Every structure is written in C-alpha cells, then in structure tokens.
Amino acid sequence: VDELGLPYRIELLTQKENKTGGVRDTLDVVVHEPNGVRRYETYSGGEKTRLELALRIALARLIAQRSTTQVGMLALDEPSFLDASGHNQLANVLRSLTEFRTIVLVSHDEALVDAFDQKVMVVRDERGSRIEDAA
C-alpha cells in the first residue's frame, strides 16, 4: 500500500467469533492507518482504488509465488479515481513486479496509458472491435 502512496497496512481477517463462542468463516478487510483503524467506507475514491489495487496485487503475488501454481499473468481492469501521482505510483509498482511474465492493464485514461511504453489500442466502431496503432 505504501508503494501506491498510502501509509497504511491492510489486514485480512478470515474468521470471526460467533455470539455463542464458536468461530465462523468470514472475510473482513481492516485498514490500519498511523492513527488507528478506519472504516473502508470513509475513504475517498482514489484512496479506495489504491487500497483495492494493493489487495489485488498482493493476492496475485501470493498465488504466483506458490510452488503448486503456474500464474504468469496479472490483469487489472480500469483503475479509476487516480490522480497523476496515483498513475505514476501504479506504473512504478507494475514495472517492479517480477512474478508475472505478462501484465495487462486496461484503461481509458490517457494519462495512465501514456505511463507505459507498450500499448495496444482497441477501437470499436460500427464494424466491431479492432486493434489500432499498437506500439
């Protein structure tokens, strides 16, 4: 999360105590800030995007590093609400990932697209979709 510009730590809780004393499976995302825990719903759109990207990338890296799996690709679709700083930080994080042979980022945001050297532009018209100006 820090690499995406937020000084936070994310914790995933997979079990919760029942009122009767038993334990049940759950998936709670807890965000720890320097001053304590804050509810996910209170974050801005850009902060939520950065938290979600950090979670997706971390889970994908965990799966890719397991010896029993063969994950060679990371795909991210339409990260929204990122400012120029967020675009740069995301591009830097994606460039630093070594676990994946291929990283695909789908975006309509020209500023984010321009942060990368290799691009494939997909254009849709009355005849359908086609690749145009691939770089």
* 8 Å CB contact between 79 and 112: yes
pLDDT in tens, 83-128: 999 999 999 999 999 888 899 999 988 888 888 888 888 888 899 9
DSSP 40: G
Q: Which helix (H) or strand (E) holds 77?
A: strand 73-77
For residue 34, count CB atoms less than 10 angstroms from its CB and return exposed for 0-12, middle for 13-18, buried for 19 or more.
exposed
Report the predicted TM-score, pTM, of the whole model to 2 decimal places.
0.79
